[in-house]
Amino acid sequence: MSDTLVDRIIHCRICPRLVAWREQVAIQKRRAYRDWEYWGKPITGFGDPEARVLVVGLAPGAHGANRTGRVFTGDDSGAFLFGALCRAGFANQPVSTHIGDGLELKELYITAVCRCVPPDNKPLRDEIENCRPFLVDEIANFKNLSGFVALGKIALDGLLAALPMENLQRSRIDFVHGKIHSLGQGSPWLVTSYHPSRQNTQTGRLTPAMFDQIWNTVRDLLVE
């Protein structure tokens, strides 16, 4: 990702509600992280600069990426995600706690449709729309994309809105866990998955076996 795009993202202050919340969380902190200097700014994507798969999530966690400065790093959702990616051979280690912890992604790049932590993990529609140009520009940076993985319905909708394909019939792409979608002849494929949030993983809506199947599917699609 270009330095210009990184600079645009981390210095963005377009959404007053999100700016206020991300900075409030960074000041108040969680007791377990009281010695941390929270990131407290928008997050960029992270991963293999030559990625063949773009993974799109929702937004940074209040005490995860909003603290660490790296997407899906330092919270339960990230632990569930990186564990699965490691088992599938897309990550070199199953745990990510901070920038500089040695985590490397292979063939994948992870980003989000909303770059600031939203109150109650619920970004507003206009806040996602304000972030959309960042996702559009990120997608344009990858010249060898084979496919996308959308983690959750909001991520799916945000991704579809950001895709540049003129003839894409977005209304026909429904959110079903584990479904492979065609985006048109010669275009990347799309796999939809439940988001690895605690709400999904602790209730059994998304199990480790279900999530492993997502990444095994992605691996199979890459070798076809």
CATH of the domain at 175: 3.40.470.10
Tell me the C-alpha distance between 38 and 48, whole Å: 25
Task: Quote the pLDDT of residue 167.
Answer: 77
Is the model's pLDDT at 194 over the cut of 80?
yes
Amino acid at position 24, single letter: Q
Is the model's pLDDT at 170 over the cut of 90?
no
Is the model's pLDDT at 3 over the cut of 90?
no
Q: Band of the pLDDT at 12, cuts 50, 70, 90?
A: very high
- The phi-psi region of residue 173 (left if phi > 0; otherwise alpha if psi is between -120 and 50; otherwise beta) is beta
Is the model's pLDDT at 108 over the cut of 90?
yes
Task: Quote the pLDDT of residue 184.
Answer: 85
Which residues lie below 8 Å from residue 144, measured CB to CB, with a gap of 6+?
Answer: 50, 51, 52
Q: Are 129 and 200 in contact (CB under 8 A)?
A: no
Task: Please give the model's pTM, rounded to 2 decimal places.
Answer: 0.95
How much of the chain exceeds pLDDT 70, in percent? Answer: 100
Is the model's pLDDT at 203 over the cut of 80?
yes
- Burial tier of 182 (Cβ tally within 10 Å: 0-12, 13-18, 19+): exposed
Task: Quote the pLDDT of residue 206.
Answer: 98
Domain around 205: 3-223
pLDDT digits 0-9 by tens, 42-65: 999 999 999 999 999 999 999 999
Task: Quote the pLDDT of residue 176.
Answer: 97
Q: Which residues of 142-169 are buried (b: 16+ CB within 10 A; e: fewer)?
A: beebbbbbbbbebbbbbbbebbeeeeee
Tell me the C-alpha distance between 82 and 88, whole Å: 10
Number of domains forming the structure of the chain = 1
Q: What is the DSSP letter of 91?
A: B
Q: What is the mean pLDDT of the chain?
A: 96
Ranges assigned E (strand) in 36-179: 46-47, 53-57, 108-112, 147-151
Q: Starting from the edge strand earliest in sequence, which strands make up the sheet with 180-182, in order?
A: 46-47, 108-112, 53-57, 147-151, 189-193, 180-182
Q: Are 110 and 72 in contact (CB under 8 A)?
A: yes
Is the model's pLDDT at 218 over the cut of 90?
yes
Residue of 112, 123, 131 whose CA lies nearest to 17:
123
pLDDT digits 0-9 by tens, 127-157: 999 999 999 999 999 999 999 999 999 999 9
